[in-house]
A and B are shown apart, each in its own frame.
Chain A
């Protein structure tokens, strides 16, 4: 029943419109039945000579009686137009409110998914496959929306139509009613099984289309290889084969559909024929009037196609349930705790201490063991360590991406776990090694459209990050779009834009997770000098493999296998054997070699 609760969640704010859509639809359907009935009564009792009964009689009297109407048939026409205009109004209202509800539901699902993905934990975000989640956010969402907004309403419409038509028809003639529904079960079941059957064929065709798409994609992306290997003719052969296969699979569906629509149409038409012939026999016997026969014919005619559609909806219902389940899985992913307004929001100065901090992944693999160190406001901490030594994990703990359980991390003496996460991250900025730039302009990437950030602020940040000139060299400068629709930035440019983006937040603590790796040494140095000049009060944490980058730090930690194996200043560390000295020797040797011109 969890799924039911989820559906209710998606309906929020749209219940009134949703119900209104259904109610208006029911009214419209009933009015359409009335309209048909009026035509029947007019044929029978105004033009013909049959005495009307019940409502029909009252109606005729109200409009001046048979004689009057007979000579003023335009009144009947007007009544008909009047009722159908009413029907039209309700039909419109129903469609309008159904659309409002349906699109509102779609928006709710989209927002829920997006919001959840933004607020899920770091561990979840890094464990998912983008393609899989994307499918849930697009095609599964569409399936659920379609079910709620269209199919479910169609189902109700169909049921209302059946119940209402049957009750009217029943009153007029039972035998003809039975005849009118004699073939309906076949029509429903036929649609139900056909659409189940053909959806498998669609899968096959989709696969074939996928193969063909791959051939085109690989060909386009490898065009230079194709040209330099001069394999165009073979590529064309390969493409023709895949396109033919796709075509032939599609043709199989074509044949299936041709049979289905041909046969089912004939059966539907046969159903109408059954009513007509039974009606003729009954009318000849005098059990039904001509007008009522036309009413029956129209009712059955109007019922038959929705009923065929119902078979399809029932066949597709399983799919909607599966899709809903897949969306549910995403929405049940763990959310990052402490992101609401709870927690402390102290003024952060930038004193940081780690005391016996350990961290292990859920599989029990310990990545950090017993880490202790402290740095004061405005100081610089540098970390050197091999890949997998746990240095990135340490930084992720500090910005609250990962929760720590053992030991204590304090910011200005306050336990980090108690600080509000948003507050924490606004004060502790981190530049990731492979930063993600959003497909907006460079300016928007840096300022996030924050009205408090001026162009001067942006330029200051970019000049500290040494990327100002590169940005100005782009044709559109700061308004250059990043990504697919704009320029492709080099790795170094991306890192520098990301640095500017973090600098703009005026954080008290700045963390560089190897985020100068794609920048050449000269620029690296320029950035560090600018930082020292403009952000003297800022506590800085650097991960790097370059001794030149590390050497000026107040404290250098050497990490191996999740432990701090050595610590000290540059001058202290080069005095003793160890990883730091090893790296230093090698790099200075290189530099000497370079200086000497080898």
Chain B
């Protein structure tokens, strides 16, 4: 999800959001105080260094003596040691604060993600949720901790330089300080624009990255359609946009630094003009003049820092708002107060009672937020151990039925009963812990095969795991790995075929032993032999369990106790396989197409898997 730069740019600073973010610093108050002290001392040393030159000129050089030079050197070295130490301290503390607070916010965000309902996941793309807990957090906490560093330094530096200058000479100080407001205005003006265009450039950069990835993956298609030229010219437009934004960034910063440094020189000239006259009148010394010169040459650093922080705060605000929105999002589906009162607060690591598994939908309607009705006064009654196959086109409402059963969503109207009880009055964890769910694309976690099979029940013994694997005919191929059950599945599941992954997922479901099982069957093809094994495994896991299957395999469909053909949120045909075939309707057409393709698989083998992006 692309953030709109323009919109964010004009927003005023939202103090509420920053207050919430700054609360995360409370735990690390000692770090914050440490940074403040280190920065004040650091600014003091920075401001004090020109004083050494002044002293040297006015004392050693003016009186042509090296007396006291030893002490001078010792003091200078001590000062630079002190400066080095403050640098060490603030980098250490600010960076540490950044990482500590990032970790804390990340963990809170992740915890929240574990509780949020699926309706939230529908509204927010996974990619955007991912960025929230990773780069957005980094950006927000980065500006908090480093912003603190820069701000304290800049403020102390300006104050100290001003104080030193006033102590030396009020008139020159007043004259040269006139430059500061102009510097501030110019810095704010430029910093905003520089940041804006650099964000633009970054946005184009990600567009270009996307274009590269398409260009690579779609290369064959481009060839066959003879679209290389048009793609190249599309791509050129994107790179031109990127170039324009980048050059604009550079032009603004290229204008900014010279203007600021000329302003600094104007300050210097003012100092020379005013100071020179005073030296001639012996009101000030040459050393003092050099002090003014170095200060005026350094003015723009702190002013510029302030402007930069100001601009970055405005831009990081969007990241902060996204994180806070996540942390404060409402959880739609959770145990009601009554349920909590009756059962206590059930968390995922507590044991729960077994359910029997009868399910009844009574006049259930459902619509996604602000959407059309996906399910309309739906009624269904399932006895424990029955298997229901759901058949129909994509978007017909099959998945909705499954989601409602799992209580990933709750009905908009009507009631769902589990074991005769309105399932909203049962703790969510009771339902989920009795539930098995298998996705279209088999999902494995990084870790060993053993970990994956016992994923749902950590206390399962090794024997139970092996038995489950044997039951689904996965044992043999697992044992072929060098480390057997300890074979590590890396990200993306390298070394294991899709079919084998499916088998492992089924084994996981068996170990979990749920009373309600939901299967969103895969359409993707696996090799014939594994396909057979998967079919046998599925029929084993369905046995004696209340189950809902979004079915694609004929073997599964035929084994079901009841088949529901769903179209536009309604059941249009229902019954056993034989009954539905006799109807010669929708099911009949689907079945014949499907069966021919299925039997072709036996004869021809499945198509070679196409290269998938890794």
Interface of B is mostly: helix
Residue numbers in B under 8 Å from A362 (CB-CB):
none
Sample of 13 A–B contacts (CB below 8 Å): A88-B259, A95-B254, A99-B250, A114-B211, A220-B113, A222-B443, A251-B95, A258-B89, A273-B77, A450-B230, A484-B127, A521-B589, A594-B592
- The answer, yes or no, to whether A281 is at the interface (CB within 8 Å) is yes
- The answer, yes or no, to whether A582 is at the interface (CB within 8 Å) is yes
A217 touches B232 (CB 8 A): no
A77 touches B269 (CB 8 A): yes
Q: Given A100-B247, A263-B84, A284-B61, verify A255-B92 contact (CB < 8 Å).
A: yes
Of all chain A residues, the one with the shortest Cβ separation from B580 is A597
- The answer, yes or no, to whether A436 is at the interface (CB within 8 Å) is yes
Interface residues of B in 215-271 (CB under 8 A from A): 215-228, 230-232, 235-236, 239-240, 242-243, 246-247, 249-251, 253-255, 257-259, 261-262, 265-266, 268-270
Distance from A118 Cβ to chain B, minimum over Cβ atoms (Å): 4
A521 touches B593 (CB 8 A): yes
Compute how far the CA of A486 lies from the CA of B217 in the bound complex, rounded to whole angstroms.
18
- The answer, yes or no, to whether B111 is at the interface (CB within 8 Å) is yes
A110 touches B239 (CB 8 A): yes
- The answer, yes or no, to whether A280 is at the interface (CB within 8 Å) is yes
B130 touches A216 (CB 8 A): yes
Residue numbers in B under 8 Å from A502 (CB-CB):
225
B268 touches A119 (CB 8 A): no
Distance from A441 Cβ to chain B, minimum over Cβ atoms (Å): 13
Residue numbers in A under 8 Å from B66 (CB-CB):
280-281, 284
- Name the contact of A130 in the complex, choosing from B213, B231, B518 (C-beta under 8 A): B213
Q: Given A35-B265, A81-B262, A386-B605, verify A261-B88 contact (CB < 8 Å).
A: yes
Distance from B95 Cβ to chain A, minimum over Cβ atoms (Å): 4
Residue interface mask B52-76, A partner, CB < 8 A = 1: 1100110011001110010011001
Residue numbers in A under 8 Å from B12 (CB-CB):
none
Residue numbers in A under 8 Å from B107 (CB-CB):
236, 239-240, 243
Interface residues of A in 164-200 (CB under 8 A from B): none
Compute how far the CA of A235 lies from the CA of B258 in the bound complex, rounded to whole angstroms.
53
Residue interface mask A555-566, B partner, CB < 8 A = 1: 000000000000
Of all chain A residues, the one with the shortest Cβ separation from B240 is A107
- The answer, yes or no, to whether A227 is at the interface (CB within 8 Å) is yes
Distance from B394 Cβ to chain A, minimum over Cβ atoms (Å): 5
Interface stretch (choices B430-438, B463-471, B479-487): B430-438
Compute how far the CA of A428 lies from the CA of B272 in the bound complex, rounded to whole angstroms.
81
A-B pairs, top 3 by smallest CB distance, nearest first, are A77-B269, A99-B250, A88-B258
A262 touches B85 (CB 8 A): yes
Q: Given A263-B84, A594-B581, verify A228-B293 contact (CB < 8 Å).
A: no
- Name the contact of B433 in the complex, choosing from A230, A235, A247, A281 (C-beta under 8 A): A230
Interface residues of B in 489-533 (CB under 8 A from A): 491, 508, 512, 514, 518, 523
Residue numbers in B under 8 Å from A244 (CB-CB):
103
Compute how far the CA of A269 lies from the CA of B307 in the bound complex, rounded to whole angstroms.
27
Distance from B40 Cβ to chain A, minimum over Cβ atoms (Å): 17
Of all chain B residues, the one with the shortest Cβ separation from A514 is B607
B272 touches A522 (CB 8 A): no
B603 touches A582 (CB 8 A): yes
Compute how far the CA of A217 lies from the CA of B81 in the bound complex, rounded to whole angstroms.
46
A117 touches B290 (CB 8 A): no
A247 touches B100 (CB 8 A): yes
A228 touches B436 (CB 8 A): yes
Q: How many contacts A-B (CB < 8 Å)?
A: 426
- Name the contact of A439 in the complex, choosing from B99, B102, B134, B210 (C-beta under 8 A): B210
Compute how far the CA of A589 lies from the CA of B280 in the bound complex, rounded to whole angstroms.
116
Q: Given A47-B289, A227-B432, verify A590-B258 contact (CB < 8 Å).
A: no
- Supply 14 further A-B pairs (C-beta < 8 A) apart from A84-B262, A254-B91: A99-B250, A106-B242, A224-B439, A228-B406, A240-B107, A251-B95, A284-B65, A290-B57, A425-B224, A436-B221, A546-B600, A590-B592, A597-B578, A598-B578
A439 touches B214 (CB 8 A): yes
- The answer, yes or no, to whether A377 is at the interface (CB within 8 Å) is no
B290 touches A43 (CB 8 A): yes
Compute how far the CA of A76 lies from the CA of B265 in the bound complex, rounded to whole angstroms.
12
Distance from A18 Cβ to chain B, minimum over Cβ atoms (Å): 14
B276 touches A42 (CB 8 A): yes
Residue interface mask A124-139, B partner, CB < 8 A = 1: 0110111101100110
Q: Given A224-B439, A232-B115, verify A138-B603 contact (CB < 8 Å).
A: no
- Name the contact of A594 in the complex, choosing from B76, B280, B591 (C-beta under 8 A): B591
Q: Given A218-B446, A266-B83, verify A336-B223 contact (CB < 8 Å).
A: yes
- The answer, yes or no, to whether A160 is at the interface (CB within 8 Å) is no
- Name the contact of B582 in the complex, choosing from A113, A119, A597 (C-beta under 8 A): A597
- The answer, yes or no, to whether B599 is at the interface (CB within 8 Å) is yes
- The answer, yes or no, to whether A203 is at the interface (CB within 8 Å) is no
Distance from A154 Cβ to chain B, minimum over Cβ atoms (Å): 15
A95 touches B243 (CB 8 A): no
Of all chain B residues, the one with the shortest Cβ separation from A519 is B593
Distance from B415 Cβ to chain A, minimum over Cβ atoms (Å): 21
Interface centre among A251, A257, A276, A401 (most CB of B within 10 A): A276
A138 touches B76 (CB 8 A): no
- The answer, yes or no, to whether B610 is at the interface (CB within 8 Å) is yes
Residue numbers in B under 8 Å from A212 (CB-CB):
134
Distance from A182 Cβ to chain B, minimum over Cβ atoms (Å): 15
Compute how far the CA of A594 lies from the CA of B456 in the bound complex, rounded to whole angstroms.
41
- The answer, yes or no, to whether B421 is at the interface (CB within 8 Å) is no
Q: Given A48-B286, A436-B217, verify A266-B81 contact (CB < 8 Å).
A: yes
A433 touches B607 (CB 8 A): yes
- The answer, yes or no, to whether A530 is at the interface (CB within 8 Å) is no
Compute how far the CA of A259 lies from the CA of B215 in the bound complex, rounded to whole angstroms.
45
A259 touches B88 (CB 8 A): yes
- The answer, yes or no, to whether B595 is at the interface (CB within 8 Å) is yes
B103 touches A266 (CB 8 A): no
Distance from B184 Cβ to chain A, minimum over Cβ atoms (Å): 19
Of all chain B residues, the one with the shortest Cβ separation from A220 is B126
Compute how far the CA of A122 lies from the CA of B254 in the bound complex, rounded to whole angstroms.
45
Compute how far the CA of A247 lies from the CA of B349 in the bound complex, rounded to whole angstroms.
27
B255 touches A277 (CB 8 A): no
Residue numbers in A under 8 Å from B456 (CB-CB):
228-231
- The answer, yes or no, to whether A226 is at the interface (CB within 8 Å) is yes
Q: Given A77-B272, A110-B208, A232-B114, verify A583-B603 contact (CB < 8 Å).
A: yes
Residue numbers in A under 8 Å from B246 (CB-CB):
99, 102-103, 106
